[in-house]
Amino acid sequence: MTDVLDTPPPELWLARHGETEWTVSRQHTGSTDIPLTERGREQARELLPSFEGIDFDLVLSSPASRAVETAELAGFEPEIDQRLREWDYGDYEGLTTVEIQRDRPEWFLFRDGCPNGEDPTGIGQRLEPLLDELRGMSGKRIAMFGHAHCFRALAGCWLGLGAESGRALTLGTASLSVIGVEHGRPAIAHWNAVPLVKSPTPASTLDATRRS
């Protein structure tokens, strides 16, 4: 006997933008609007096969041009959501971790945050209202185009572990990840992967049935 749950969970697809000059140099890129490189545009186009044949109920993007262009080259016309902007690095904008640690040897973003920018609590407070809205989109599939540190914090919040737990997750340029729910609990289905195994229905709908 199979019982169908009344409210199947949503499924979130997270696509990090393609390469920029600052991702190559490993500079912290928050509010600075650095465009994609030609390689970054090529990476964005390479996302197309992973999205083919899959329907999305909502497509969102960070306002940064590198995220919007990645979405467009992957075949979407996204809605802009300011809450998906990258971590605010404050005084550390444009610096590399090596440069920051010359003055603060023990500095770690997911613990210490940035002076005149965001810390893990702050970015969590920015992302939780968005996640609350998405949690209410029962049975929907949502694509989001954005940034590494923001998405790592977002995944940590989705899992109920807090933004700081994003320290354990890494994201490459133009990577694709999927988070959803399994057996009633938030879960990661794919992480930092291209291409993904495609399914005509959200993987999270597997949680919509239970056997007794």
Query: What domains sit in the chain, N to C, each tagged with a CATH number?
Result: 2-206 (3.40.50.1240)
Pairwise CA distance, residues 138 & 9, whole Å: 5
Q: Is the pLDDT of residue 168 over 60?
A: yes
17, 147, 149, 190: the active-site residue:
17
Pairwise CA distance, residues 144 & 176, whole Å: 10
Pairwise CA distance, residues 28 & 9, whole Å: 34
Q: Is the pLDDT of residue 32 over 90?
A: yes
Q: Is the pLDDT of residue 68 over 70?
A: yes
Mean pLDDT on 52-69: 97
Q: Count of CB atoms within 10 A of residue 52's CB?
A: 10
Mean pLDDT on 36-51: 96
11, 19, 69, 86: the active-site residue:
86
Cα 37–chain centre separation: 20
pLDDT for position 102: 97
Pairwise CA distance, residues 167 & 122, whole Å: 15
Q: What are 15's strand-pairing partners?
A: 145, 176
Q: Is the pLDDT of residue 207 over 60?
A: no
pLDDT for position 4: 42
Q: Which long-range contacts (CB under 8 A, 24 or more apart) does 188-194 make?
A: 188/155, 188/159, 189/11, 191/155, 194/46, 194/47, 194/50
pLDDT for position 195: 58
Mean pLDDT on 48-65: 96
What pTM did the predictor assign?
Answer: 0.88
86 is catalytic: yes
